[in-house]
């Protein structure tokens, strides 16, 4: 469940971006960019090659075949010029490749080393955690020549060995400066006009990110899931842990053997960062969490654990350029609310959103559906224990009335009363009672009780087999004091 704009809603779903998948190979990364002609493009990298989406259809732009595995994320660097846009891709296994504005990829000129990550700053490309002639240099950066993606020399290699850890990701903070994330330190490279193009400074020594794609830029800062399970924010000066209680949730769920497969994206429309990672519970699905940035008088907040029934292996933010009219509607009028639960679910030119890449090669439009490509999912949320009648008093519950937005289709919505006298356990769950959110607005959605009393009570709502987005709007607890027993 998500708390968004004062509402408690079920998370969005997703559906295929196109009727035909771009590939059958595992998607390992993606990049959205606007080229020098003002055209919006998406490129995805798989375990074997690359594919371009031009806003209408996919095309194969693979060059030399890649040889990466399930843990080798593909990272992209965009190098724009006035008359061309170069896209450089690395995957920590194969030699870097380059595409000229969406043309087929080819080996990057200048004999650069194999690299784990790539970024651009100060009109240069930077490769991080490189392998030179078969020897890994995990603390090394290679820097290209000025305004050239093919000018590479070992004389512009820098080694950040003081902290004795490996580079995980390099990511630009602005046009003049980029961040270097290592296993347990954070550095910055600052553009300089001297003999060497950058000066490097150690800014903090906090746990580093679990994976290159786990570092997400949101507005002016970088955020990432750390190797200790906490969430961190880095603004170029200080790296601060912000995970709070979410830290334990992440630690308990993250598959430690596959940390490097974690990825995330930023949804600026809702000011939310979404992270997804392989769960220790299954190698066929992923879990994740959502962080809402603070705004005005609304504080930052983390969601509960999100569970996905499909193996989502990559994600990338993008601007949706799809057009949509009456003739594009699918299904029937009765099912319109299932396919398009809110106005935001209609594709719209210029809408900022995200794409999800799958292990099967399918690319999905996130938030384009209320279910996961036709598959339902379950959700629940708790209103925590309270001493409703006051300290030392028992409370008797007569009814719980819940208010949901009326929908044309309803999952199984259960109201569950939890009681406890000692708070020594998770409480005793009273038999669930089911309501129907498709009923008329005058219908009271109530769970009634004959004789339920305790010192502390909590309320749980459980929604089963969700196929359309549900919205909880509040509730009323009918109860009265019974005195200490």
CA angle 332, 338, 340 (to 5 degrees): 90
Residue 287 scores a pLDDT above 90: yes
Q: Mean pLDDT, the chain, as a whole number?
A: 90
45: which residues sit within 8 A by CB, 6+ positions away? 27, 28, 29, 30, 66, 74, 76, 89, 91
> Residues 340, 346: contact at Cβ < 8 Å?
yes
- The full set of domain ranges for the chain reads 11-372, 378-481
Mean pLDDT of 186-212: 95
**Secondary structure E strands in 97-176:** 97-100, 106-107, 114-121, 124-132, 135-143, 157-159, 167-172
| Cβ–Cβ under 8 Å, residues 225 and 277 | yes
The dihedral through the CA atoms of 298, 299, 304, 308 has a sign that is: positive
The pTM assigned to this predicted structure is 0.90
Separation between Cα atoms, residue 57 and residue 410, nearest integer Å: 35
Amino acid 55: pLDDT: 87
377's enclosing H/E stretch is strand 377-386
Q: Say which residues have a Cβ less than 8 Å from residue 309's Cβ, sequence separation at least 6.
A: 285, 372, 375, 377
CA of residue 117 relative to chain centroid, distance: 19
The whole-angstrom separation of Cα 284 and Cα 192 is: 47
What residues pair up with 100 in beta bridges, in sequence order? 86
Rounded Cα distance between 51 and 102, Å, is 9
Nearest to 469 by CA among 404, 415, 400: 404
Percentage of the chain lying above the pLDDT 70 cut? 92
Phi-psi region of 157 (alpha: psi -120 to 50; beta: other; left: phi over 0): beta
Quick check: 338 pLDDT over 80?
no
Render pLDDT for 371-391 as a digit per residue (tens, 0 to 9): 888 888 888 899 999 999 888
Nearest alpha-carbon partner for 283 in 265, 257, 263: 257
Q: Does 485 score more than 80 pLDDT? A: no
List pLDDT tens digits, range 419-476. 999 888 889 999 999 988 887 767 788 999 988 999 999 999 999 888 777 889 899 9
Stated as kind and residue range, the H or E segment containing 266 is strand 263-267
pLDDT per residue as tens digits for the range 236-249: 999 999 999 899 99
474/291 Cα distance (integer angstroms): 22
CB 98 within 8 A of CB 81: no
Query: 11-372, superfamily in CATH?
Result: YVTN repeat-like/Quinoprotein amine dehydrogenase (2.130.10.10)
Buried b (16+ CB within 10 A) or exposed e, 350-371: ebebbbbbbbebbbbbbbbbbb
CA distance 203 to 188: 7
| Residue 404 or 261, more confident | 261
Residue 124 has pLDDT above 60, yes or no: yes
Residue 123 pLDDT > 80, yes or no? yes
Give the number of other CB atoms < 10 A from CB of residue 196. Answer: 11
What was the pLDDT predicted at 72?
97
């Amino acid at each position: 469940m998500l708390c968004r704009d004062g509402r408690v809603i079920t998370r969005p779903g997703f559906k295929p971006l196109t009727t035909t998948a771009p590939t059958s190979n595992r998607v390992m990364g993606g990049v959205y960019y606007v080229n020098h002609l003002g055209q919006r493009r998406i490129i995805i990298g798989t375990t074997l090659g690359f594919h371009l989406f031009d806003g209408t259809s996919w095309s194969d732009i693979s060059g030399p075949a890649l040889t990466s595995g399930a843990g080798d994320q593909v990272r992209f660097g965009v190098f724009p010029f006035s008359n061309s846009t170069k896209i450089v891709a690395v995957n920590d296994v194969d030699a870097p490749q380059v595409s000229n504005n969406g043309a087929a990829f080819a080996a990057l000129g200048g004999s650069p080393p194999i690299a784990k990550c790539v970024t651009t700053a100060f009109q240069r490309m930077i490769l991080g955690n490189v392998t030179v002639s078969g020897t890994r240099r995990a603390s090394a950066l290679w820097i290209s020549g000025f305004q050239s993606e093919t000018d590479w020399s070992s004389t512009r290699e820098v080694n950040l060995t003081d902290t004795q850890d490996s580079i995980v990701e390099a990511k630009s903070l602005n046009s003049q400066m980029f961040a270097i994330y290592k296993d347990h330190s954070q550095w910055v490279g600052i553009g300089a006009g001297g003999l060497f193009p950058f000066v490097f400074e150690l800014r903090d020594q906090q746990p580093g990110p679990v994976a290159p794609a786990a570092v997400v830029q949101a507005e002016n800062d970088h955020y990432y899931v750390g190797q200790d399970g906490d969430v961190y924010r880095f603004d170029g000066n200080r790296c601060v842990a912000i995970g709070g209680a979410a830290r334990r949730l992440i630690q308990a769920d993250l598959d430690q053997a596959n940390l490097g497969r974690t990825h995330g994206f930023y949804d600026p429309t809702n000011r939310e960062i979404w992270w997804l990672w392989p769960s220790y519970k299954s190698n066929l699905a992923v879990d994740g969490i959502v962080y809402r940035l603070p705004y005005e008088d609304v504080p930052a907040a983390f969601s509960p654990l999100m569970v996905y029934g499909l193996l989502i292996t990559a994600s990338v933010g993008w601007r949706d350029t799809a057009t949509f009219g009456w003739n594009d509607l699918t299904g029937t009028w009765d099912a319109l609310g299932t396919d398009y639960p809110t106005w935001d679910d209609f594709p719209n030119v210029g809408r900022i959103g995200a794409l999800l890449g799958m292990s099967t090669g399918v690319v999905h439009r996130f938030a384009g559906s209320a279910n996961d490509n036709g598959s339902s999912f379950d959700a629940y949320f708790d209103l925590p224990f309270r001493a409703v009648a006051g300290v030392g008093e028992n409370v008797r519950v007569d009814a719980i009335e819940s208010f949901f937005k009326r929908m044309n289709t309803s999952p199984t919505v259960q109201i569950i009363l939890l009681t406890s006298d000692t708070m020594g356990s998770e409480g005793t769950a009273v038999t669930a009672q089911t309501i129907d959110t498709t009923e008329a607005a005058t219908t009271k959605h109530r769970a009634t009780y004959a004789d339920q009393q305790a010192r502390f009570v909590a309320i749980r709502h459980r929604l089963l087999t969700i196929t359309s987005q549900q919205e909880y709007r509040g509730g009323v607890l009918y109860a009265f004091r019974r005195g200490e027993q």
